[in-house]
């Protein structure tokens, strides 16, 4: 499911000089980037991605910092909550009541030929992104926190971005 | 629309010493700050600010890091979604149904003399802020991501903060 | 209410070398971590934690960066809005209408023996976290921004994480 990883230890720092030398060292802020790809067959689903984000953190070798995890698509969410199937059912029912998929004609966006106006709304409610503290090389989580990808317009390949900065 | 910019390359780093010298270099984490000002004539509107945030990033000369973009007012949002006028209409209709502006007397907050209780609620639904990854000097976006200022109580000058850190 | 603080000035930076020496200096990105603990007697309440976060910032000695403030529990929120009791009443009424606590049997999650499905939903609406810019050693806020802990399933000890990175 992983596709692309970019490591960066930063750029050379030209302003630094000792005794006329510019030592060739490589910067100050460590950064890491990876895209996670998903293809959810159903229109809507919640996928626990905590393990994949944890794997990214291991690869990053960053021990103190912040991790941003965001949907790169605007009909999907990344959020943190409980990994309990009853709750996910409740979210699904509640969101569908709040912004029903049908009738499609209730949404002007669907005049563009899309049928996903409800998905754009559901994603706003559940959120685009989470920012997670990194402490001692670990996701700094409370006891029940789990990261989910929320798909509201599935059936095609979509991405989540993991970007970690720190050192 | 831009008002104030503050660049920072960080403070001198006193703990560092080679051969008794403290080389005069300037820090480790780059940061950049700018306020974007808006005066939306209508009570409610969505304004695409992606170009302005991109301009901030260019000015910052930061190539790897995180950009925070947040409303500085509590009746406005910053969010990421699609630049499609039908969808914006759908958001407007949906939010107005979810937390109607009138009757004003439905909200205790309006007893303070304000008429914007609904705007405080709408802003919570749409969100205060976005955090965007910066990679290779660019906003690290999926194909349709655009940043919007969401105004829910317009008719006066209000601000968005852009803060970028990294290197 | 404070329990645990961790300071970090980062790790030694082994790649750096001048004239064969590895000077023993301590890194590039400053980080700070503290947990704020709460025990709200009521099921639901909003607690202004701005002063506590400001105190964390003072302790951190970080002047430029980002502060993440997040609920560590999945039935609680951290959000930024107005410190006005009428508005808090309006939030309470609106959230209870949007996702009522009762009847408990309306939620499949409550079949697990919990009675807090509504709290998981309310927390999603109000948000898990805020990210705040740090500028010149201060929370970089608009005129009315205040940080709140939103409790939706009280009566027990719960935590908020404050993580600040920068320099």
Mean pLDDT of C74-78: 98
What digits encode the pLDDT tens for the residues C103-145? 999 999 999 999 999 999 999 999 999 999 999 999 999 999 9
* Amino acid C27: pLDDT: 60
Long-range contacts of A91-97 (CB under 8 A, 24+ apart): A91/A46, A91/A126, A91/C120, A91/C121, A91/C124, A92/A44, A94/C99, A94/C121, A95/A122, A95/A125, A95/A126, A95/A152
Mean pLDDT of B65-94: 98
**pTM as predicted:** 0.88
Span of A11-15, A38-42, A93-97, C31-35 with lowest mean pLDDT: A11-15
* Amino acid B61: pLDDT: 96
What digits encode the pLDDT tens for the residues C38-63? 999 999 999 999 999 999 999 999 99
The alpha-carbon gap from A88 to the nearest alpha carbon of chain C, in Å, equals 8
Mean pLDDT of C73-97: 98
pLDDT band at C23 (very low <50, low <70, confident <90, very high): very low
* Amino acid A16: pLDDT: 31
B89 in reach of chain A (CB within 8 A): yes
Span of A143-152, C15-24, C135-144 with lowest mean pLDDT: C15-24
Q: What are phi and psi of A125, to 5 degrees?
A: -65, -45
pLDDT band at B28 (very low <50, low <70, confident <90, very high): confident
* Amino acid C28: pLDDT: 83
Residue C12 pLDDT > 90, yes or no? no
Q: What is the mean pLDDT of chain C?
A: 88
**A166 or C15, higher pLDDT:** A166
Mean pLDDT of C146-166: 98
Chain C residue numbers touching B109 (CB-CB < 8 A): 82, 84, 86-87, 89-90
B45 in reach of chain C (CB within 8 A): no
**DSSP assignment of A140-161:** ---TT-EEEEEESS-SSEEEEE
pLDDT band at A27 (very low <50, low <70, confident <90, very high): low
Residue A17 pLDDT > 70, yes or no? no
Chain B residue numbers touching A33 (CB-CB < 8 A): 133, 135, 140
Q: Which CA distances in Å does C118 have to B121, C44, C98?
A: 18, 11, 9
Mean pLDDT of A6-20: 35
Chain B residue numbers touching C22 (CB-CB < 8 A): none
**B28 or A72, higher pLDDT:** A72
Q: What sections of C41-139 are H helices per DSSP?
A: 50-60, 85-98, 117-126
Instruction: Give the whole-number percent of chain B exceeding pLDDT 70.
Output: 84
What digits encode the pLDDT tens for the residues B116-131? 999 999 999 999 999 9
Mean pLDDT of B48-61: 98
Assembly ipTM: 0.86
> B84 and A121 in contact by Cβ < 8 A?
no
Distance CA C16, CA C79 (A): 41
A120 in reach of chain B (CB within 8 A): yes
> C68 and A66 in contact by Cβ < 8 A?
yes
Residue C11 pLDDT > 60, yes or no? no
Chain B residue numbers touching A15 (CB-CB < 8 A): 25-26
Mean pLDDT of C79-83: 98
Residues in chain A: 167
Residues in chain B: 167
**B73 or B1, higher pLDDT:** B73
Span of B27-31, B108-112, B152-156 with lowest mean pLDDT: B27-31
Residue A3 pLDDT > 80, yes or no? no
């Amino acid at each position: 499911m992983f596709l692309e990883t970019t490591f960066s230890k930063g750029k050379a720092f030209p302003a630094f000089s000792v005794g006329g030398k510019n030592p060739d060292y490589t910067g100050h802020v460590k950064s890491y980037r990876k895209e996670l790809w998903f293809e959810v067959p159903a229109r809507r689903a919640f996928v626990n991605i905590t393990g994949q984000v944890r794997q990214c953190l291991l690869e990053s070798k960053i021990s103190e910092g912040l991790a941003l995890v965001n949907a790169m698509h605007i009909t999907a969410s990344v959020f943190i909550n409980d990994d309990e199937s009853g709750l996910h059912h409740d979210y699904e029912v509640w969101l569908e009541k709040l912004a029903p998929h049908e009738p499609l004609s209730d949404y002007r966006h669907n005049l563009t030929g899309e049928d996903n106006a409800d998905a754009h709304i559901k994603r706003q409610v559940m959120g685009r992104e989470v920012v997670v503290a990194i402490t001692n090389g670990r996701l700094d989580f409370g006891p029940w926190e789990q990261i989910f990808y929320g798909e509201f317009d599935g059936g095609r390949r979509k991405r989540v971005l993991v970007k970690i900065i720190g050192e």
